[in-house]
Amino acid sequence: MPDIDSVLQENRSFEPSEAFRAAARVGDRAEYDRMYRESIDDPDAFWGRAARELPWIKPFDEVLDWSEAPVAKWFGGGQLNASAVCLDQHLTTDRRDKVAILWEGEPGDVRSFTYAEAHAEVCRLANVLKARGVGKGDRVAIYMPMIPELAFFVLACARIGAIHSVIFGGFSANSIRDRVLDGGCSAVITADGGWRRGKVLPLKAVVDKALEGVGGVHTVFVVKRTGNEIAWDDARDVDALELAKTASVECAPEPMESEDTLFLLYTSGSTGKPKGIRHTTGGYMVGTYLTTKYVFDLREDDVYWCTADVGWITGHSYIVYGPLANGATVVMYEGAPNEPHPGRFWELIEKHRVTILYTAPTAIRAFMRWGDEHVTKFDRSSLRLLGSVGEPINPEAWMWYRNVVGEERCPIVDTWWQTETGGIMLTPLPGVVATKPGSATLPFFGVDAAVIDEEGNELGANLGGLLAIKRPWPAMLRGIWGDDERYRETYWSKFDGEYYFPGDGARRDEDGFFWIMGRVDDVLNVSGHRLSTMEIESALVSHAAVVEAAVVPRPDELTGEAICAFVSIGPGAVASDELAEQLREHVATEIGKLARPAEIRFADALPKTRSGKIMRRLLRDIASGREIAGDTTTLEDFAVLDRLRSDAE
C-alpha cells in the first residue's frame, strides 16, 4: 500500500515571546531535548523522579514492569489515592485556602470552593456513597450536568476505591443502559436536571428510563440542581445533598494499589459496541500530573479553564485529575457557549480573569462563524496561553485563535492524544517550541513516537503514514473492560506488539514536527493517491465562504474513489452551483487538481459526535447512497442525518 500523500503546505512559524520563555518552566530547546532524551534513555530515572513528586501512601518498588506486554504495570508495589493526590496533599500548604473550583452555571450562578472546602465536600459525598454500601472495586455510573458535584463525586468514588464510569450528560437512555450493563455498575449518580441553552435537561428521567428492567443497580444518588419535577423510587433513589448535610467531613482515603482501576470511560469503536477504556491509578495520576504541569506551564496564580465536559477524557484528565493534582484554580462552566449570547465564553474569561484556555477546534470554528465582535468586546488581557484538543486544527482556525482570541500574545499548544492514552502525547511545550499552525509539534517526555508504513518501517520527512508509539507510557490504558483480547487486537496486533497503534495518520516534517492527518479509516484513494481528508478539508475551510467541511470518498469507476465534500457555509454566503465550482477550483489551487472534489454538497450542519468530532463514516454511507451502518449512539443530532439524506435526493 502506498503511503499517504501529504499535500498540505504550511510554512508559518511562531516563536513564544521572550517574556513567556523567560518565565516558563522549560524555556529553551536544549533543556527540552535533555529532558526528553533522559525520558527515553533512562525512563526509570525520569518517571521515578516525576512519580515521587506525588504523595504516595506506600512508595513503589519498581517503575515499569513490561514483562506481560501489552499490559503494563507502572509503579508496582506503590499505594496511593487519587483524591488524596488532588486534595489532601494541598491542605497542609498555602493552597488550603486557594480556590480549587470556580464554577459558573448557565443561568449565571457562581459557586467557588477552596481546596479545604472541596476536600470537605468530597469526604461528605464519599460517606454518602459508603452509607449505601458502595465500596472498593464497585462500578458506579455518573450521569451529571457540569456542576461542582460532578467533580466531587468523581473524586468521592476515587476516595473510596469505587470505579467511576462517567457517561456524558448528552447520551440517551439506551447508551446509558449499555454502559451500565457492560460495566456491571451497581449504583448511578445523577441530577434532577442541568441547564443547557436555557432549558432543563431532564437527566434523572433519562436514568429512570435507562434502568427500566435493569436489575443490578441498588441505588440512584440524585443531586438536586434544577428543581424540576422528577419521579422517585423510595427503595432506590436517595437525595445526595440532603444526606451530605449530615455526613462527616472526614473520610480516610482508601489506599489503592498503583494498578488498581481508577475509572472506565467508554469510547465508540468505528464498529461494534463501545469500549470501556480502563485506566489505573498510579500511572494515570503521574501522567496527568506531569503533562498538566509542563504543557500548561502552570503557575500558582493561574486561572485555568478547560471547556470540555467532565464526561470526556479531556475533562477527566484536564479538568479534574491533572489540574487538581497540581493545585490549580480550575474554572468549570455548565452551559452552552452561546447562551445567552455568542460571547459567553469571552465574558467568562473577562469576569474570572482566566489565564489559560483549553478548548476544541470545533468550538473555535463556531466562534469564527459567529463573528469577531463577540470576542473582541470582552477583555482578554488576562489570557497568557491557549490550548487546542480533539481534532486536527486547520491553519485558518489556528491563526484566528492566535490573532483574535490571543491578540498575538499567547502561545498555542495543540495537543494530540486519545481517551486511550490518558494524557497528552504530542504537544509543544509553550516556552520552547516555535509553533506552526496545524502541527501538534513534538512528543511529550517519555513518548517515543514515529511515523511508519504498513510494514512498520519508519518513513522519511514529509511522508504521510501511520502514527505509532513505541513503548508504554504511564497514563496509557490498561485494557478494555471485559475484553482483553479486543485490547491486544485493536491497539497492539498490527505490528506484532512492537507499536501501539492509535489509528491516526501523520507525517513528520523536516524539523521533526508531527502533523496529524486524521483517522486512517478516513483516508481516500483517488487514482492510486492516498489523500488525507483533513488536508482537503483544511483547504476548503480556508475559503472565506466555508465554516466547516467534511470530505469522504464515494466509489468511482474511473478513479476508484471520488472526493465528495460536505460543506457548511457562513451566514454571508449562498449555496449555489457557482460557489460549488469556486470551491472545487479553490482546492485545486491550494493543493492541486488531484484533490479537486468531484462533488460539493452544501449542508446546514455536519454529523458530529457529542464531543464535536465529525463522523465521516456516516457521510461515507450517505455519499455512496448506502444505508447507514454501524454504531450511531455517539451522534449529537440525529436530525442532521435526515436532512443530509433528503438533500441528496
Tell me which residues touch ligand 7RM (CB under 6 A).
267, 313-314, 388-392, 414-419, 440, 502, 504, 516, 519, 611
Across 28-97, the runs of DSSP E, i.e. the strands, are: 62-65, 73-76, 79-80
Minimum distance, C-beta of residue 417 to ligand 7RM, in the bound complex (Å):
5
Minimum distance, C-beta of residue 389 to ligand 7RM, in the bound complex (Å):
5
The half-sphere exposure of 387 on its side-chain side, counting CA atoms within 13 A, is 31
Nearest C-alpha neighbor of 124 from the set 247, 260, 303: 247
Minimum distance, C-beta of residue 139 to ligand 7RM, in the bound complex (Å):
20
Minimum distance, C-beta of residue 565 to ligand 7RM, in the bound complex (Å):
19
| Nearer CB in complex with ligand 7RM: 152/481 | 481
| Nearer CB in complex with ligand 7RM: 103/491 | 491
Contact 247, 127 (CB under 8 A): yes
- Relative to beta strand 303-306, strand 356-359 is parallel
Minimum distance, C-beta of residue 487 to ligand 7RM, in the bound complex (Å):
15
Minimum distance, C-beta of residue 572 to ligand 7RM, in the bound complex (Å):
29
Across 520-559, the runs of DSSP E, i.e. the strands, are: 524-526, 529-531, 546-556
Q: Is the alpha carbon torsion for 120, 125, 126, 128 positive or negative?
A: positive
Minimum distance, C-beta of residue 619 to ligand 7RM, in the bound complex (Å):
16
Minimum distance, C-beta of residue 127 to ligand 7RM, in the bound complex (Å):
33
| Nearer CB in complex with ligand 7RM: 261/267 | 267
Nearest C-alpha neighbor of 179 from the set 638, 486, 635, 633: 633
Cis omega (within 30 of 0) for bond into 70 = yes
Q: Is 248 exposed, middle or buried (0-12, 13-18, 19+ CB in 10 A)?
A: exposed
DSSP state string for 52-63: TTS--SB--SEE
* Amino acid present at 267: T
| Nearer CB in complex with ligand 7RM: 275/352 | 275
Minimum distance, C-beta of residue 648 to ligand 7RM, in the bound complex (Å):
26
| Nearer CB in complex with ligand 7RM: 61/511 | 511
| Nearer CB in complex with ligand 7RM: 519/601 | 519
Kindly report the number of other CB atoms within 10 A of residue 649's CB atom: 5
| Nearer CB in complex with ligand 7RM: 390/406 | 390
Beta bridge partners of 507: 515
What's the full length of the chain, in residues?
A: 649
- Helix and strand totals (H; E) in the chain: 21, 31
Q: Over 53-120, what HEC string results?
A: CCCCCECCCEEEECCCCCCCEEEECCEECHHHHHCHHHCCCHHHHCEEEEEECCCCCEEEEEHHHHHH
Minimum distance, C-beta of residue 425 to ligand 7RM, in the bound complex (Å):
9
| Nearer CB in complex with ligand 7RM: 79/419 | 419
The half-sphere exposure of 605 on its side-chain side, counting CA atoms within 13 A, is 16
| Nearer CB in complex with ligand 7RM: 261/533 | 533
| Nearer CB in complex with ligand 7RM: 391/590 | 391
